[in-house]
Structure 1
Amino acid sequence: MFTPSPYGWISQYFTGFFFAYGVYLPFWALWFEEQGISPADIGLLVGIGFATRCVANLLLTPRIHKVEHLMPAVRAFSLAGLLFVGFHFFTGGSFWLMALATVLFNLCCGPIIPISDAMANYYSRLKMLDYGRTRLWGSVAFIAGSTVVGYLVSLYGSDMILYTAMVGMLVAFIFSMRKVNPMPVTDTRQPTQRPKLGELLRDPNVIRFLALVALIQGSHAAYYSFSTIYWKEAGYSEAIIGYLWSLGVVAEVLVFALSKRLFVGWSLRALFVVASVGVMVRWGLTASTTALVALVAIQMLHGVTFAVAHIAAIQYIQVSDQNRMVALQALYNAIPLGAFIALMTALSGWGYENWGANVFWVMAVMGALALFIRAEPTTTNTQDNKAALEAQN
């Protein structure tokens, strides 16, 4: 328990962090609304959060390129994240203080995801764990966080959003303080200098990869920011909304758990095409109806629009050499999951205020555009890359 295996350490850390993330992602906009913030300003605040994660992942995360530095970084960011969630209590309804709290928290939250994923990738390459089965515990915790906070908010009010998120971050920090057996060690047979992001961004394959994932994952911007408000306006309670978010992550968990069986022999192109078609169907339905049966189907598609695309992205990153792995992971989280979602979130705030649910049609079009982009990984070590893909599949 106190010196767990790599699978135990990472899956348990994912449990604490993604419990907090399951509170943050679906309900932070609702907390802003309860503080009197307008939909357009909510879009800006949530967009600021994504933009901050982008900056953090471009400037901070790539500096942690040696695997033995990953664990201390996770510990430091987890402690700081816990403190900055608490800072939200002192914003007093001020937009600018809320913006400051958002920036501070996301400076910590942003690097945690790629750094912890990089640890999982490191041990996955060594065949000490299965990434999908490890990552699914984060998804289970996300379900627990969104379900618990939805219930607590319906009983005690929106401040429970902050209290519940703090509990998750505290658990994550406590789990992170343990050692793991074996500890991560950089492979000295590979170059250890910090890779330059500029060089990666001049690689056409990397650019196509980032653009493709940006369209698929960026299509979730309106969902992350306004689905809770949209469904509440349609007459659903906070508890029902929490269950709907949880259902989406149930689908995600199933895909992660069965990924080895489901996708053995699948190419990266096939995985990305399935995700793109899922985007078109999911957001088209979201724009068209709020019937509960349809919402159930919409949320089950989260296993396609998010999980399948994420697995494909992780496979793309795993075929890189160890020295580029953290940098690619940082770019993946900084640009598709950070900058582009920040842009789309800000635009969706304006779009939701003016068009209502029709903003989801814009998200559906992004899936259609993704079908035209083909991303192939740049390989540097054929045997290592083949082994990495075999371990993932």
Structure 2
Amino acid sequence: MPYWSLYLQDQGFSYQEIGVLSSIAIITRFFAPFIWGWIADKSGKRMLLVRIATWMEATIWFLIFIIPNNFQSIAFLMLIFSFFQNAILAQFEGVTLFWLGDKRAEQYGKVRKWGSVGFIVGVFLIGALLEVVPISMLPIMLLCIAFLAFLWSFTIKEPETAPSAQKQLEPLFPIIKRPVVAAFFLIEFTLLFSQAPFYSFYSNYLKQSGFTTTEIGFLWSVGVIAEIIMFAKANFFLKRFSWRNLVILCLMMTCLRFILVGLFPNHFIIQFIAQTFHAFSFGLFHVIAMRIIFQNFSITQQGRGQALYSTMWGLGVASGSILAGRYWQILSGENIFIIAGLCTFFGLLFVRFLPAKVQENSIN
């Protein structure tokens, strides 16, 4: 997906259109996670949803070559693609946590890192391939990956510890209105809003600055390697510092990261250093998010709790992508990234509602 915006640019779409298309690919997170979360909690068939979704993803990339290549058609396919992708992201997190059981606090990061490893392998392979084949071939590569994921999903069974079908679902509102939960999701929105230009335009930004697709893929991979290290070492931070202090650290590191990206667009080493901060922008923040969700949402609410996390992610990235695309040509990419970094200060308004003491390592 780091190359998707380059594909759209190659197909003749403007930055404003790319911003809208990027937001459409995310905008279903406003509602789709709750639909999938409700179905998962109601039916108890989480892996079945993952299999259906991976099959539909493969179908979407196949249809790219059949439908007319215009804005309306691509927008429609992105809408369908992201609707089903949301079934994978949130529910597979739940599947993972259920399978880990009582060991989820110690083992989650070790399992989650393999998603990051897969991302690195995909970025490097696709980046290298795009040096020798036209970027118009990108959908074929994504089709192969999605179909492989569909086949592989049959090797994973439904979690034995997950609740089965439920006739009556527990309401979420009493949980959402807890200060720690409400504050965390508002901080998540702020953090993802600031990261929107990165997710939607970072590859285009680097391409404009003269980087090759291999170098772009390498820089994306640096961020993911950093998050893998953080997944492995997150307990070091969680045992010593409170959620409040760690979230402040995530916000400040994200701010510094994008200011560096904006100030030094042509400096490979600076971009490399900025990408290592992804360990805090995503890695550490994501581990804290999983703990907050499992400690505040009951077992029977986990599907919808994960869905809410995905929804706030979508709201932040979609709104940020639309604004970044709208003002990219007016303000320049450099200024967009600097402004994005400064936006993280808004999240500091809510950190006082997070626990000031170190949380217990166990997840209820």
Q: Normalising by the residue count of structure 1, what TM-score does the alignment of the two structures yield?
A: 0.85
Contact 2:46 2:158 in 1 (8 A): no
Return the offset for 1:358.
Answer: 0.4
Q: 1:98 aligns with which of 50, 74, 80?
A: 74
Q: What is the Cα deviation at residue 86 of structure 1?
A: 1.6
User: Which amino acid in structure 1 is aligned with residue 197 of structure 2?
Assistant: A
Partner residue in 1 for 2:47: 71
**2:200 maps to 1:228:** no
Counterparts of 1:391 and 1:67, CA distance in 2: 24
- Alpha-carbon shift at residue 201 of structure 1 (Å): 4.3
Cα 1:130–1:269 change in 2 (3 A) is same
On the 8 A contact 1:125/1:391 being kept in 2, the answer is no
Report the alpha carbon displacement of residue 311 of structure 1 after superposing the two structures with TM: 0.9
SS at match of 1:220: helix
How do 1:1-393 residues align onto structure 2 when only pairs under 5 Å count? 24=1, 26-65=2-41, 68-127=44-103, 130-180=107-157, 183-186=160-163, 193-290=168-265, 291-320=267-296, 321-335=298-312, 337-356=313-332, 357-374=334-351, 375-376=353-354, 389-390=361-362
The aligned amino acid for 2:362 is E
Q: CA deviation at 1:349?
A: 0.6
- Deviations 1:191-246, CA, capped at 9 Å, x for gaps: 87323455554444432121011111222100011111111111111111011101
Structure 1 residue 41: deviation in Å?
0.3
Residue identity opposite 2:78 in structure 1: T
Task: Say if 1:285 and 1:192 are closer, same or farther in 2 by CA, change over 3 A.
Answer: farther
* 2:169 aligned counterpart, secondary structure: coil
Tell me by how many angstroms 1:370 deviates: 1.5
- Structure 1, gaps ≥5 residues long: 1-23, 378-384
The alpha-carbon deviation at position 68 of structure 1 amounts to 3.5
* Aligned partners of 1:121 and 1:131 also within 8 Å: yes
TM-score w.r.t. length of structure 2: 0.91
Whole-Å separation in 2 of the counterparts to 1:87 and 1:268: 44
1: CA distance between counterparts of 2:32 and 2:282?
22
Instruction: Tell me which residue corresponds to 1:11.
Output: none
The number of aligned residues is 356
Distance 1:86 1:199, change over 3 A: farther
3-state secondary structure, aligned to 1:156: coil
* Conservation of the 8 A alpha-carbon contact between 2:95 and 2:159: no
* Of 97-106 and 166-175, the range deviating more from structure 2: 166-175
Contact 2:15 2:325 in 1 (8 A): yes
Is the partner of 1:193 in helix, strand or coil? coil
CA contact (8 A) 1:67 1:186 kept: no
Is the CA contact 1:51–1:339 (under 8 Å) kept in the aligned structure 2? yes
Alpha-carbon contact 2:191-2:251 (below 8 Å) kept: yes
Task: Give me the whole-angstrom Cα distance separating, in 2, the residues matched to 1:275 and 1:113.
Answer: 22
| 1:301-340 superposed Cα distances (whole Å, 9 cap, x missing partner) | 11111111111111111103212222111011012x1122
Farther off after superposition, 204-213 or 345-354: 204-213
Q: Deviations over 1:162-202 (max 9, x none)?
A: 122122212211111124386344289xx873234555544
Q: Do the aligned residues in 2 keep the contact of 1:74 with 1:116 (CA within 8 Å)? A: yes
Answer yes or no: is the 8 Å Cα contact 1:127–1:391 preserved in 2: no
Distance 1:247 1:67, change over 3 A: farther
Q: Which moved more, 1:257-266 or 1:347-356?
A: 257-266
CA contact (8 A) 2:99 2:159 kept: no
CA distance in 1, matches of 2:336, 2:101: 40
Matched letter for residue 94 of structure 1: N
Q: What is the CA–CA distance in structure 2 between the aligned matches of 1:51 and 1:182, rounded to whole Å?
A: 29
Deviations, residues 36-94 of structure 1 (Å, cap 9, x unaligned): 00000000000011102332113332331158411111111111111112222224321
Partners of 1:309 and 1:179 in 2: CA distance: 27
Distance 1:154 1:344 in 2: 30
Q: For the residues of structure 1 that align with 2:164 and 2:35, how far apart are their CA atoms?
A: 24
Give the unaligned 5+ runs of structure 2.
none
User: Tell me, what secondary structure is at the counterpart of 2:103?
Assistant: coil
Letter in 2 for 1:134: V
Contact 1:54–1:110 (CA<8 Å) still a contact in 2?
no
1:154 match: secondary structure = coil
How far has the Cα of 1:262 moved from its partner? 4.2
